[in-house]
């Protein structure tokens, strides 16, 4: 009887030691799987604003003006350009070329020239300036109305769209470093708002870490 009691006691002791080992092992396993949270610190840096232009599709809607033009023979181009430059200079359309060359269906090129701004029907010669009316009568020109860009192009894409109506000149800006969407006096306020946003994000992360 005494031997049986000793054997039962040994078995119970082994069972308790095994259970303790399992519990201890499980505790160590959970410790390995715990997520370690690292503190978040702000890094001081120098602020600099860089303007990123948009990629908006250029459109000429609402930015065109009508002109009176006429087809001419190439040999008359130089003479007509000189006469029209004196009779009716295009002061507000200096970016628009006076003459347009057009080639259609493999035929020889045709030239068209701008006579003046359109102020009425294309065949109403009474609306032409007096000097332009004389030129039209002298060379027996057949006039038509054309549309040209009202303002100079500000990008290559816009210039390409303008030339589909009538050729214009394009001078890309050279001093791109000086282009900025913000005034110098506005920069300190902008930087301060950005720093405040970063501090708030750091505070939010600290609060989350403390609650875990």
Query: Does residue 23 carry a pLDDT above 50?
Result: no
**Residues ≥6 apart with Cβ < 8 Å to 123:** 143
Q: Would strands 64-72 and 110-117 be described as parallel, antiparallel, or unpaired?
A: antiparallel
Model confidence pLDDT, tens digit, residues 45-75 = 566 666 555 545 556 667 899 999 999 999 9
pLDDT at 204: 83
Mean pLDDT (the chain) is: 76
Stated pTM of the model: 0.55
Helix (H, G, I), strand (E, B) or coil at 144: strand
Helix (H, G, I), strand (E, B) or coil at 93: helix
pLDDT band at 107 (very low <50, low <70, confident <90, very high): low
The β-bridge partners of 71 are 112
């Amino acid at each position: 009887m005494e031997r049986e009691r000793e054997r039962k006691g040994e078995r119970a002791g082994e069972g308790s030691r095994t259970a303790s080992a399992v519990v201890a092992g499980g505790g160590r396993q959970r410790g390995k799987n715990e997520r370690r949270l690292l503190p978040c610190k702000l890094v001081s840096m120098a602020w600099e604003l860089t303007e990123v232009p948009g990629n908006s599709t250029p459109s000429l809607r609402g930015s065109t003006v009508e002109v009176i033009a006429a087809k001419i023979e190439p040999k008359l181009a130089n003479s007509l350009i000189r006469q029209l430059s004196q009779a009716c200079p295009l002061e507000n359309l200096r970016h628009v070329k006076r003459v347009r060359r057009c080639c259609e269906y493999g035929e020889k090129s045709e030239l068209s020239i701008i006579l003046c701004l359109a102020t009425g029907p294309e065949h109403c010669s009474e609306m032409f300036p007096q000097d332009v009316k004389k030129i039209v009568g002298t060379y027996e020109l057949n006039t038509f109305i054309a549309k040209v860009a009202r303002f100079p192009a500000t990008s290559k894409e816009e210039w390409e769209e303008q030339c589909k109506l009538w050729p214009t000149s394009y001078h890309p800006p050279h001093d791109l470093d000086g282009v900025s969407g913000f005034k110098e006096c506005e920069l300190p306020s902008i930087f301060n708002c950005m720093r405040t946003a970063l501090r708030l994000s750091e505070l939010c992360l600290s609060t989350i870490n403390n609650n875990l």
